[in-house]
Chain A
Amino acid sequence: MSIFNMLLRNVVKSSVFPFAMKERRKNGLFLTCFYKPFLHRTLNLSPYLKDVEPNPPQKLDLDEWKNIMRAEQQKEICEPTSKCEEDSALTAMREFVEMRRLAGKLIPKNITEEELKTLMELTTKSSKLKYLKFLAIRERKRNARNTKKEERREQRKELLGEVENRDADDLRNSFLVGFRAKSLDNLHNWRAAYAMIFGQPLVFDMVFENCMSVIELQNAVKQIMESEGYNRKSVDPFHLHFCNLSVDGLYMKEFRRSYGKTWDNLLVTETEHCYTKLFPRDRLIYLTPESRNIMKTFEHNKVYIIGSLVDKGGQKGASLAEAKRLNLATARLPLDLYLRWNIGGKNLTLDQMIRILITLKDTGDWKKALQFVPRRKHGGFCGN
């Protein structure tokens, strides 16, 4: 009898156990908890042994898992888990973030004390969740970039190894010394310096720094950096003016932060003055999408003004108001004339604007220039 009992127990165990063992990830602790309930179950079976066939159809035990959870829980609780008490609000926030991670939401893996404090300062729930999502996405991007960098480094190492393996003494016959990035930079700077003397002025109006949120301001600075770079690299650059740039304003702070030391060597004119003081009024044209006048041709003797304003809603008519205030001529790009507009605002980013203007200046061809309008916004050129 007892032998038979043992045998059956083994059968039951072997029929279910391997399954569970196969993909088990947690060790030690789990094993003991798991084992106990099954022992219990086989004992239960023993009085009815005679009735049960040697190979019973497996019946599912639906409530077993709760016991496992409870048993495990009690063990964990026995372990000392008390931590030193920190600032209670901060810990509450940290715990909240932790639990949100467990709930499967987008949460950054590492969150610093500073970020937690900014999180606490946010007033509404939705703004908190948005900030957390932003942090998570930023972290994910950063990680992806880092892994890519690692890969590239590895590849470079391999390449270098190959080059070294090749014959090192084999000197090539070349009529130029290797062309370096530095020389290209020199060329660009030379052109920019030339533009500072003879080039056509292009004004970025920095008067909107108080209309924007922090994020919008950062985006605006990024766009200005991008447009400055594109301008420098073009064949015939504009002479850029950053007007209305107050010395200790938000824009200046952000510029210094993102440009670093380069800011002082930048080949652009930055002034606190308004463009109306620098140029005669009749040469100025304010470019704004809300203008009623359509820009027909690019004029080489005019000074175009671009309002450096990133508008994520709520700033309707700000740049037009500025032009009206100074009583300037305004113009907008002929987007509707040349493009079949689909979706999105007619306000373009600053770098798109400068690309369009530079192409116009070089070629005068609207079709070429308007290729810099994002493709998602329009369905091709009219008449094609």
Chain B
Amino acid sequence: MAFFLQASYWGLQTFLGRRFLFQPASTCQKSLVLMVDLLSRDRVKGLPFTTSSQSALPQKLKGVHMLHKSRSRSRDGRKVKMQDSCREEEKSLIHPFFAGAAKQRSEIQRTPTAIRLLRLSRRHDIQPPEKPLNAKEWQELRTQLKLCTDFEIVMLRQMVKHKSSIDVAKSLMADVVLRNGDVRYNLLIAYLTLCLQQGQTAEFFDIYDIIKLKFKTLETGGYGVLIRGLSGTERWREAILLLKEMKKFTVPSKGCYGHCIKAALNNQDIQLALELYHEMLAKNIMPNLDVPQAFFDSSKGTQDDKLKKELLSMLLCFRENQVYPNEALMQSIKQWFESIPGEKWTGRLTSVENGCACPVCNQVLETIELNEKEYNILKEKIMKDVMMQGSNTFRTTTPQELKRFQDFVKSRLPYDIVIDGLNVANSVKKLNKYKVLFDVISYFAQQNLRLLVLSRKHLMKGFQTWNGNAVTALQRKVDFFFTANVSQDDPFLLYATLHSGNHCKFVTRDLLRDHKACFTETSIRHLFFKWQRGHQLILSPLVSHKIIFMPILNFNTVVQTTGDTWHIPYDDQLVERYSYEVPRKWLCLQRK
């Protein structure tokens, strides 16, 4: 009994103790939160108007709570949406190489754990004063903010950010000059940026003259600001002089060139603009899209044949470099074509989903197939750059394996389909991977196509143990090739497909971006991408019970012409296009 009592007492004590422990813990937590809060507030100490901590704390907690709620809701929402999309949106899937496909994929696959934390930087929260201050007030502000070393520059940048009035900046500059008798160079440049932003041309010229007197040469940032400022005014010739000075020690950026070209175009000096444009291309700088836009805008209704030729060659330059105009440029191009006197062009917007003809004018678009010369170049380059990695074959495979594979491919007839076994097997997460692979292989085998399945050895082991009989039955119809477990199988896939000929397709979900990156020349990369778009079969990701492949594109998405028609693909403003995707919208221009 006594023991019992003691025990219960002990239990009570521990219970109490725990209670006690609990209490401080919770207060401790609170104070921790407070501390964190204070710390974070400390970071933004520069802010003159902060709320008191009592009011700030609950608000913050509420904010966190809200965040949790909204997150869970969105997670549920996504689930529902995914199920819906599984059922209904089978047909609305975008082809993986069309603009927006990568975005769509990331929407589907995004995990809900990724929360973006807002980072508060110390300098971000300085509020520049609203009225011009005198020297005393500036001094006060300076001591208050404790940024003595680069107070002025930080302040000016904040003014640019908050778009405060030029007078405030003027008063700051006056204060600096009266204190030091001199202004540092970077301060002048920052002030110039502010003038530019506010459109204070007279002020800009004043400072420009001062800078010209004070410094013999400038650096790239300064030249950039000056060129940008001067190119919009009547003193644009000086911008071009500055550009010349800049060339003495560095290659001007495309922004600088662009501003000069636009200035020349605005002032009807087309000759100079063209000169600068060609100089830029010769230095291997691709202009921003607003430069061609300026060309097209400024030469509307032109009679000049030479200029017309230049503009058309600009379009062909887009074709070579796989540049796609944005919507604004597309509009300019359209208006320019329609404004050519004597030739009746009509432009209409369309989208070519699949098929090979433009729905507006029924003109057959350029095929995606490579011609024989290009095909041979690509075949060689795949062997050299991807398979052999320059000279070191051991990075991807071994020479013995390569030899074995080459002999194997040579001895067989050309294939119709080459399947990346590992990729196909792992493409549907929920199902048995061997079953998926088996289904895909038999799907093609039923159509009496010549098949090659490439894989690593370890997959084959599992495959045979999974269902030995079915696999041996398949093996009679289909060729299998297994690489060593340390080798890469994608180069073999590319090699086999390319050597089978133009009709051969390959099946993988891999976008092969790393192999594309192995090519040293950009033109070969474009070739490879074109070939890939025309020959890659991709298992549609959302459908798990049926085998459906994305349709193969049979037209080439590139700027193209037949003389009487122009077809120009362009980027939709609303769709985010990744670099390995091509736009879906087209501008169709037709002469009657």
Chain A: minimal CB distance from B19 (Å) = 30
B218 touches A99 (CB 8 A): yes
B213 touches A321 (CB 8 A): no
- Complex: how many Å from CA A172 to CA B137? 67
A73 touches B213 (CB 8 A): yes
A292-317 interface (Cβ within 8 A of B): 292, 316-317
A103's contact among B173, B183, B189, B485, by CB below 8 Å, is which? B189
B578 — which chain A residues lie within 8 A by C-beta? none
A70 touches B219 (CB 8 A): no
A72 touches B181 (CB 8 A): yes
* Dominant SS among interface residues on chain B: helix
Chain A: minimal CB distance from B405 (Å) = 16
A60 touches B174 (CB 8 A): yes
Residues 280-304 of chain B: 1 if any A CB is under 8 Å from the residue's CB, otherwise 0?
A: 0000000000000000000000000
Chain B: minimal CB distance from A22 (Å) = 8
A29's contact among B181, B183, B184, by CB below 8 Å, is which? B181
A43 — which chain B residues lie within 8 A by C-beta? none
B182 — which chain A residues lie within 8 A by C-beta? 26, 30, 69, 72
A345-384 interface (Cβ within 8 A of B): none
A66 — which chain B residues lie within 8 A by C-beta? 206-207, 210
- Complex: how many Å from CA A34 to CA B181? 8
A31-71 interface (Cβ within 8 A of B): 33-34, 58, 60-66, 68-70
B178 — which chain A residues lie within 8 A by C-beta? 19-20, 34, 64-65, 68
A241-297 interface (Cβ within 8 A of B): 292
B131 nearest CB neighbor, chain A only: A60
A323 nearest CB neighbor, chain B only: B394
Kindly state whether residue A166 has any CB partner on chain B within 8 Å: no
A61 nearest CB neighbor, chain B only: B174
- Complex: how many Å from CA A95 to CA B219? 8
A69 touches B214 (CB 8 A): yes
The segment from B243-251, B320-328, B408-416, B564-572 found at the interface with A is B243-251
Kindly state whether residue B35 has any CB partner on chain A within 8 Å: no
- Complex: how many Å from CA A311 to CA B163? 46
Chain A: minimal CB distance from B431 (Å) = 27
Kindly state whether residue A77 has any CB partner on chain B within 8 Å: yes
B394's contact among A77, A92, A100, A324, by CB below 8 Å, is which? A324
Residue of B135, B167, B181, B219 ringed by the most chain A CB atoms within 10 A: B181
Chain B: minimal CB distance from A358 (Å) = 29
Kindly state whether residue A344 has any CB partner on chain B within 8 Å: no
A321 touches B217 (CB 8 A): no
Q: A20-B178, A34-B181, A102-B185 are in contact. Are A93 and B249 (CB under 8 A)?
A: yes
B213 touches A62 (CB 8 A): no
A322 — which chain B residues lie within 8 A by C-beta? 394
Kindly state whether residue B464 has any CB partner on chain A within 8 Å: no
A24 touches B217 (CB 8 A): no
Residue of B134, B167, B220, B249 ringed by the most chain A CB atoms within 10 A: B249
A20 touches B395 (CB 8 A): no
Chain B: minimal CB distance from A167 (Å) = 51
A92 touches B486 (CB 8 A): no
- Complex: how many Å from CA A16 to CA B175? 11
Q: A65-B178, A322-B394, A325-B394 are in contact. Are A96 and B219 (CB under 8 A)?
A: yes
Kindly state whether residue B398 has any CB partner on chain A within 8 Å: yes
B150 — which chain A residues lie within 8 A by C-beta? 104
- Complex: how many Å from CA A188 to CA B184? 57
A62 touches B214 (CB 8 A): no
Kindly state whether residue A180 has any CB partner on chain B within 8 Å: no
A129 nearest CB neighbor, chain B only: B220
B219's contact among A19, A68, A103, A318, by CB below 8 Å, is which? A103
Q: A321-B394, A322-B394 are in contact. Are A95 and B217 (CB under 8 A)?
A: yes
A95 touches B216 (CB 8 A): yes
A70 touches B171 (CB 8 A): no
A30 — which chain B residues lie within 8 A by C-beta? 181-182
Kindly state whether residue B186 has any CB partner on chain A within 8 Å: yes
B210's contact among A25, A69, A103, by CB below 8 Å, is which? A69
Chain A: minimal CB distance from B24 (Å) = 27
A322 nearest CB neighbor, chain B only: B394
B253 — which chain A residues lie within 8 A by C-beta? 125
A125 touches B249 (CB 8 A): no
Kindly state whether residue A320 has any CB partner on chain B within 8 Å: yes
B250 touches A125 (CB 8 A): yes
A99 — which chain B residues lie within 8 A by C-beta? 185, 215, 217-219, 222
Residues 321-346 of chain A: 1 if any B CB is under 8 Å from the residue's CB, otherwise 0?
A: 11011000000000000000000000
A94-118 interface (Cβ within 8 A of B): 95-96, 99-100, 102-104
- Complex: how many Å from CA A68 to CA B213? 13
A318 touches B214 (CB 8 A): no
Residue of B134, B153, B177, B210 ringed by the most chain A CB atoms within 10 A: B177
Kindly state whether residue B132 has any CB partner on chain A within 8 Å: yes
Chain B: minimal CB distance from A242 (Å) = 22
B573 — which chain A residues lie within 8 A by C-beta? none
- Complex: how many Å from CA A157 to CA B180? 41
- Complex: how many Å from CA A61 to CA B174? 8
B179's contact among A24, A62, A93, A103, by CB below 8 Å, is which? A24
A78-104 interface (Cβ within 8 A of B): 89, 92-93, 95-96, 99-100, 102-104
A104 — which chain B residues lie within 8 A by C-beta? 150, 153, 184, 186
B132 touches A62 (CB 8 A): yes
B218 — which chain A residues lie within 8 A by C-beta? 99
Chain B: minimal CB distance from A297 (Å) = 23
A17 nearest CB neighbor, chain B only: B178
Kindly state whether residue B58 has any CB partner on chain A within 8 Å: no
Kindly state whether residue A162 has any CB partner on chain B within 8 Å: no
Kindly state whether residue A23 has any CB partner on chain B within 8 Å: yes
B394 touches A19 (CB 8 A): no
Kindly state whether residue B430 has any CB partner on chain A within 8 Å: no
Chain B: minimal CB distance from A100 (Å) = 5
A58's contact among B134, B170, B207, B209, by CB below 8 Å, is which? B134
- Complex: how many Å from CA A68 to CA B150? 22
Chain B: minimal CB distance from A144 (Å) = 18
B234-278 interface (Cβ within 8 A of A): 248-251, 253
Q: A60-B174, A92-B248 are in contact. Are A68 and B217 (CB under 8 A)?
A: no
Chain B: minimal CB distance from A12 (Å) = 14
Residues 52-64 of chain B: 1 if any A CB is under 8 Å from the residue's CB, otherwise 0?
A: 0000000000000
B170 touches A62 (CB 8 A): yes
B174-232 interface (Cβ within 8 A of A): 174, 176-186, 189, 206-207, 209-210, 213-222
Residues 78-118 of chain B: 1 if any A CB is under 8 Å from the residue's CB, otherwise 0?
A: 00000000000000000000000000000000000000000
- Complex: how many Å from CA A93 to CA B485? 54
B181's contact among A33, A64, A102, A317, by CB below 8 Å, is which? A33
Chain B: minimal CB distance from A142 (Å) = 22
A61 — which chain B residues lie within 8 A by C-beta? 174
A26 touches B174 (CB 8 A): no
B209 nearest CB neighbor, chain A only: A70
Residues 158-175 of chain A: 1 if any B CB is under 8 Å from the residue's CB, otherwise 0?
A: 000000000000000000
B220 nearest CB neighbor, chain A only: A125
Kindly state whether residue B309 has any CB partner on chain A within 8 Å: no
Chain B: minimal CB distance from A336 (Å) = 18
Kindly state whether residue B403 has any CB partner on chain A within 8 Å: no
- Complex: how many Å from CA A26 to CA B181? 7
A74 — which chain B residues lie within 8 A by C-beta? 213
- Complex: how many Å from CA A9 to CA B297? 60
A321's contact among B181, B209, B395, by CB below 8 Å, is which? B395
- 21 A-B residue pairs with Cβ-Cβ distance under 8 Å, sorted by A, are A20-B135, A20-B179, A29-B181, A58-B134, A60-B133, A60-B171, A62-B132, A64-B174, A65-B173, A65-B176, A69-B210, A69-B214, A72-B182, A89-B249, A92-B249, A95-B217, A102-B219, A103-B219, A316-B395, A320-B394, A321-B394
Top 7 closest A-B pairs, CB basis? A30-B181, A321-B394, A65-B177, A102-B185, A99-B219, A62-B170, A92-B249
Known: A65-B177, A96-B219. 9 other contacts (CB 8 A): A19-B178, A33-B181, A64-B177, A69-B177, A69-B214, A70-B209, A99-B217, A292-B485, A320-B395
